[in-house]
Amino acid sequence: MNADVTQLASKIRLLVMDVDGVLTDGKLYNVPGPDGNMAESKGFDSQDGIALQWMARLGFPCGLISGRVSPATVERAKQCKFKYVYQGHTEKIPIIQEILADAQVDSSEVAYIGDDFTDVVVMRRVGLAIATANARPEVKGIAHYVTQAPGGQGAVREVIELLLQAQGKWPDILRHYEVCL
């Protein structure tokens, strides 16, 4: 991680992300529900989940903006204590503006994690633009930081660790779990 990314990360007060390809590997599973109709399911990474819970415990708000509507996303957002949950929005600028107004933060204090073209417009307007390892090459090209982990396989955890390290909060997490420094 270079000094510029660390400097940008030190100023972040809000983390927002896409869902498919970021919180998940982008695969969608249609399985039969109890009523016989097909229900969409997704796989989420448990290490991403605990890191998102650290953020909530530290009072660091997180949000998601997804073009798809999925009950699985709603459930995961509850589990991980997301403050902002928006689904069914491929046009993300009005949503990020609404989140910024509610959170009372400047766009320079926002980190956004994306993987596809619909994320670029937001990534160009925030303080720290992050692409997952599995992101489209065009998305990686405009990111300040590209994760080593792909979406759904620890990319969000990687970003949260980056933020907490840059802001001097990582030792608190390690102490909480009695991990030696």
| pLDDT for 71 beyond 80 | yes
| CB contact at 8 A, 46 and 39 | no
Average pLDDT over residues 75-81: 97
pLDDT of residue 181: 60
b/e sequence 137-162, b meaning 16+ C-beta within 10 Å:
eebbeebbbebebbbbbbbbbbbbbb
Which pLDDT band holds residue 124 (cuts at 50, 70, 90)?
Answer: very high
The reported pLDDT for the residue numbered 39 is 85
Q: Looking at the domain 3-176, which fold is it?
A: Rossmann fold (3.40.50)
- What pLDDT digit, counting tens, does each position of 126-180 carry? 999 999 999 999 999 999 999 999 999 999 999 999 999 999 999 999 999 999 7
Instruction: Say what the pTM is.
Output: 0.95
Give domain limits for the chain.
Answer: 3-176
